[in-house]
Amino acid sequence: MLLAPGKAGAQRAQVAQARATTRSIGRTFALACRVLPRAVRDDVYLLYLVFRTLDDLVDQGDPSAPDALAAVERWCEGGAVTSPESAILDGLVARHQLPRAALEDFCQGMRDDLAGGRLRTEADLDVYCYRVAGTVGVVMTALLGRRDPRADHHAAALGVAMQRTNILRDLDEDRAAGRCYVPQHTLDRFGGDLRPGRREPLLRDQIGRADAWYEEGLAGIPMLRSGRTAVRSAAVMYREILRQIERDGYGATAGRAIVPGPRKLLVAGRSVWGSATDGPPARRSLSSG
């Protein structure tokens, strides 16, 4: 499709902004994006920019956040383009069959954050993680293509795993900001104390749950048509945060668990090398875990 000179220039500027945002904020994701096929790389950057912008507006308490979400929700329902984010999505939908229902679910997750309600059970947490991160995996799968329709299920599971990892990594930052994403029932079960040095049993439990979601998510990577190496790399680099929490003594001291860059590359390289001998995707039931 040929673009008018002005429109082409605007699109190039948009892609440049998306790349810069990804590289400055989503460093692990940006590393994985380097091995994406050229045909979809810029579109993945653009999609990340949409999700990142909406998430930042909500996280920072920006008063424009509800309007930005409403604009995307209207677009999902077939309405006009009325925001930069809906404009990007409108451009992407011309090249990919974006699942609008998943985008609406993402917006609902952002509204959950705005409402600030307390999560009570692990099931509540799984729903929340699906909305704010599992949906990202589902929409990303639309860009990469599917060999098997079950790829969406596994992509959602990988998103849940990554969001659960975020929650464990950011425990102290969230506590300082007056937020807590650990379900109340889980907190009660482990004594309700998230202070450094007193949370190892809870972290062991939550790391185990996150690892199970990673296994479910990784099982779907062979079902993708393209971008398998990039997705696997992103997943194993992110999962390494859990291993870093363990190496740091399960929250024995305050602060975020940080995986050194060289170690990220090492675990990604090992995973990609090991996957070179992977066979065809296993036939699994969606209910299997």
Length of the chain: 289
pTM of the predicted model over 0.85: yes
Sign of CA dihedral 55, 58, 64, 70: positive
Instruction: Please give the pLDDT value at position 9.
Output: 58
| DSSP state letter for 181 | -
Cβ atoms of 230 and 35 within 8 Å: the answer is yes
Tokens found for residue 121 = 């059970």
282 Cβ contact list (under 8 Å, min separation 6): 219
Q: Alpha-carbon dihedral of residues 56, 60, 64, 69, nearest 10 degrees?
A: 40
* Amino acid letter, 90: D
What is the pLDDT at residue 4? 43
pLDDT of residue 53: 95
At residue 27, the pLDDT reads 67
What's the confidence (pLDDT) of residue 275?
63
DSSP state of 148: S
Q: Which residues of the chain have pLDDT under 50?
A: 1-6, 277-289
